Amino acid sequence: MSHKVVIPIGPYHPLQEEPELFRLYVEGEKVVDIDIVLGYMHRGIEELSEHKHFDQVPFLVERICGICSSSHPYAYVLAVEDIMGGEAKIVPERALYIRTIIDELQRIHSHLLWLGLAGHFIGYNTVWMWAWRYREPVLDMFEMISGNRNHYGMSKIGGVRRDIQDEHIPILRKALDDLVPAVDMFKGAVMDDPVIQARLKGIGILNKQQSIDWCVVGPTARAAGVDIDVRRDDPYGAYDRVKWSVIVQKDGDIFAKTVVRILELYESVGIIRQCLDKMPKGDIDANIKDVPPGEGIGHVEAPRGECFHYVKSDGTNRPIRHKIRAPSYMNVASNKIAAVGGTISDAAITLAAVDPCYCCTERLAVLDKHTDKKIMNGWDLIKLSQEKTEKLKGNI
Amino acid sequence: MIKNEIKKKLADKINHWHEHSIRRVYFSVNPEDIREVATFLFNELNLRFATATGEDTPRGLEILYHFSFDKTGEMVSARVLIKNKKNPEIDSIAAIFPGAEWIEREIWEMLGINFKGHPDLKRLLLAEDWPEGKFPLRHNPEDRGQRTEKSDF
């Protein structure tokens, strides 16, 4: 009879901000079951939001996630504007373009961050360093536009808080021009590398039907052939005014998820360039004073998928109910399918492949189920993953 | 538009129909019909389940099931009202598709609604030392509860 052991992954990892605990049940090398424990960072933001007035809430929800920190306030203001008749009717044209530019810059920095981490987990530390090196100029652009590298504070009900200055536009364009060769390099390094193909193809698969059943969103769904993207399906901002395409792959494995994210970087660069070309002069804020009673839904395509906010107002200056659903909430649950049946050496990259706002592999430890004695720690597991890559390198 | 089809097919189940805008539709159904309605929306019309919102209102506990039809960008929300606040119960829709498992666990611990037929109804977000039978999103102070002692986390 085989010996079943439990591997707890998490809850804390210093690189990412959201702790979570995965208990992997393994027999030998094979993962036979997984238990996902959440709640280490449950701050009760939905409840807190009911005690803030409408203009304070964007600053609160911005702090849900440090990586998609424009998506949450954007989805929230869309929900409030939905109560008042919709973003397109209220918000000035220039503000729509500025919102779109910020949203896409955020996608670029988030995808580069994930690419680096994914590289690290499979032993490509060069990819890690290079990806994060090219992420820096994007953060500098944020600092130039909003004053902050993270938590931009740009979204406001009825518009944006800061304008993009004319003298900043050429600098932004230059940063994008410098980024494209870097993305070309990553595209070549990942898509043409036989070792990465051998390492990432066919593992951590979530097929199309499973993606639909688990209601996953974003690149995780698109990698499996589910053609959804809120930016196209329910357009907000200036997405219906620019030309771009939704990247869809069909395999559903980790390689497909990587390809989706890399190709989306090109689309994001294209969207920002078109927005800079088309952005009209004018107001950036509609000066909304009151929110009427009613209920509204706002959803945006965050880097990880659909970010959903529901706001109910009773005509006072506070929301009476504010429901928030981050994309990882749907995607992380699907690890139950993607990781089970794989091996431990694939677990680190599989759990990271949905791009959860966290990845706790550093605190990974293998415990014997009966004695709780530590057999392996987190570094051993990353090492295991990296050793597998080395072994594949030798074979190819 | 998918909303017209829903309105036609579910005409005998819908109590109240409200079109807020072209892409936002809200309708209310009886709690005992929710499994049938969700099966129809998810399996037959192929809507994507976005999430569910639970709320404590003066009239009872309310759940809004948000479904999204991505071909036209419509967001369809089915509303149920559970009047019994002492012992609230509703059929689980996680039995139909697993994507609803987590949100039902969350609503169960936050509002105390029991989902009948849920495969694994246990706490999702609250701390282990949170008192039993207290629900943080209820408005009545006696039902809300608070943590008694500080845990290690």
How close are the terminal C-alpha atoms of chain B, in Å? 49
Contact A213 B97 (CB under 8 A): yes
pLDDT digits (tens, 9 = 90+) for A205-217: 888 999 999 999 9
How far does B112 lie from chain A, in Å, by closest CA?
A: 16
Contact B126 A39 (CB under 8 A): yes
What pLDDT score was predicted for residue A21? 76
Instruction: Name chain A contacts of B72, Cβ cutoff 8 Å.
Output: 233
What pLDDT score was predicted for residue A367? 43
For B:112-141, CB contacts with A below 8 A are 123-127, 136-137
Interface test with B, best of A89, A215, A331, A335 (most B CBs within 10 A): A215
**pLDDT > 60? residue A14:** no
| Cβ pairs A/B, distance under 8 A | 85
* Kind and range of the H or E run holding A7: strand A4-9
What pLDDT score was predicted for residue A360? 30
Q: Is the separation of the CB atoms in A103 and A68 below 8 Å?
A: no
Mean pLDDT of chain A: 85
Least confident span in A16-30, A32-46, A72-86:
A16-30
Distance CA A67, CA A79 (A): 21
Mean pLDDT along residues A18-40 = 79
What pLDDT score was predicted for residue A141? 93
What pLDDT score was predicted for residue A18? 61
Interface test with B, best of A228, A297, A311 (most B CBs within 10 A): A297
Q: Is B7 on the interface with A (CB under 8 A)?
A: no
pLDDT digits (tens, 9 = 90+) for A337-374: 888 888 877 777 777 776 665 433 333 334 444 555 55
Least confident span in A75-89, A339-353, A371-385:
A371-385
Q: For residue A265, what pLDDT band results from cuts at 50, 70 and 90?
A: very high
Instruction: Name chain B contacts of A228, Cβ cutoff 8 Å.
Output: 48, 70
Of B23, B26, B77, the CB nearest to A234: B23
**Closest to A329 (Cα-Cα) out of A349, A306, A347:** A306
Q: Which residue has the tokens 């590398």?
A: A193
Q: Is B147 on the interface with A (CB under 8 A)?
A: no
**Domain covering A45-330 in this structure, CATH number:** 1.10.645.10
Q: Is B68 on the interface with A (CB under 8 A)?
A: yes
pLDDT digits (tens, 9 = 90+) for A302-324: 998 999 999 999 989 999 999 99
**pLDDT > 80? residue A46:** yes
H helical segments located in chain B: 2-9, 34-39, 101-111, 141-144
What pLDDT score was predicted for residue A27? 83
pLDDT digits (tens, 9 = 90+) for B107-137: 998 999 999 999 888 888 887 778 888 888 8
Contact B72 A233 (CB under 8 A): yes
Q: Is B53 on the interface with A (CB under 8 A)?
A: yes
Distance CA A323, CA A79 (A): 10
Distance CA A2, CA A26 (A): 10
What pLDDT score was predicted for residue A365? 39
Distance CA B153, CA B148 (A): 14
Instruction: Name chain A contacts of B53, Cβ cutoff 8 Å.
Output: 310, 321, 323
Mean pLDDT along residues A110-123 = 86
Pull the structure tokens for residue A158. Answer: 């009825």
Mean pLDDT along residues A329-339 = 84
How far does B148 lie from chain A, in Å, by closest CA?
A: 17
What pLDDT score was predicted for residue B151? 53
Instruction: Name chain B contacts of A297, Cβ cutoff 8 Å.
Output: 24, 66, 75, 77
Contact B53 A213 (CB under 8 A): no
Residue type, B96: I
Instruction: Name chain A contacts of B71, Cβ cutoff 8 Å.
Output: 233
What pLDDT score was predicted for residue A260? 93
Mean pLDDT along residues A82-104 = 93
Mean pLDDT along residues A171-198 = 90
Q: Where are the domains of chain A?
A: 4-41+338-395, 45-330
Contact B66 A333 (CB under 8 A): no
Report whether the peptide linkage leading into residue A11 is cis, meaning its omega lies within 30 degrees of zero.
yes
Contact B127 A39 (CB under 8 A): yes
How far does B116 lie from chain A, in Å, by closest CA?
A: 20
Q: Is the separation of the CB atoms in A272 and A292 below 8 Å?
A: no
Structural domains of chain B, ranges and CATH numbers in brackets: 2-144 (3.30.460.80)
Task: List chain B residues with pLDDT less than 70.
Answer: 147-153
**Closest to A59 (Cα-Cα) out of A151, A161, A126:** A151
Instruction: Name chain A contacts of B77, Cβ cutoff 8 Å.
Output: 297
